[in-house]
Structures are given as C-alpha cells and as structure tokens.
Amino acid sequence: MIAPTESPAVAKPRRRQVAKSSRPADEKPMKIGLHLSPESWRRLGVTSTMENKTQSQIVDDLIRQHLRKYVVQVRSTRPEDSASVPEEVSAA
C-alpha cells in the first residue's frame, strides 16, 4: 500500500489593506412612513401618474422646494480637517 504524499502547504500572501476614501459615501435614500389625508393621497397618486414620477420623487421635490428655512452644516471631528472650511449642505 502506498501512502499518499502530502504536498507542503502553500502560504497565502497577505492581503493588502485597502485605503479608505477620505470622501464621505453618497447618502442613500431612507424609507419612512407618512400619514396623509385621503385627499392628499389621491392628489399624490394622480400627480405621480400624470408626471410619470414616483411618489417618492414628488415628495422629495416638494420638500426641497418648500422647506428651505434651515441649513444643515456638517463639521468634521478629525483634527486634520479643522483647518479646512466646514462643508455646508443647503436645501436650495
């Protein structure tokens, strides 16, 4: 009987660390729930059909157009970014 010969284990090369981007990732849409009156719900549905847009797109457009009173400012918590100008996100 012949004993199977074992080949020496081949060492796997180490994976290189992937550099992380300093740029923030794109924001993804959030799923939320809303309570609408039956009349508003019908208007949203008809507008969606007539303009060939999703209801989410219409609500997002309405929020961007009509809720411009506040500005969101994002400040970095990293010390190396403190010298740069803070990024401002405006609803306009």
- The larger pLDDT score, comparing residue 72 to residue 7, is at 72
Any domain includes 58: yes
Any domain includes 51: yes
Question: What local confidence, expressed as pLDDT, does residue 1 receive?
Answer: 59
- The alpha carbon of residue 39 and the mean position of all alpha carbons in its chain are separated, in whole angstroms, by 31
Tokens of 43: 């208007």
- pLDDT tens digits along 33-81: 999 999 999 999 999 999 999 999 999 999 999 998 988 888 877 766 5
Model confidence at 23: pLDDT above 80: no
Of 78, 73, 82, nearest in space to 22 by CA? 78
Angle made by CA atoms 58, 91, 61, in degrees to the nearest 5: 5
Tokens of 23: 């740029």
Model confidence at 85: pLDDT above 80: no
62: containing domain? 38-75+85-89
Q: How many domains does the chain contain in total? A: 1
Any domain includes 66: yes
**Three-state DSSP class for residue 74:** strand
pLDDT bin (cut points 50, 70, 90) of residue 16 is: confident
Which amino acid does the sequence have at 2? I
Any domain includes 60: yes
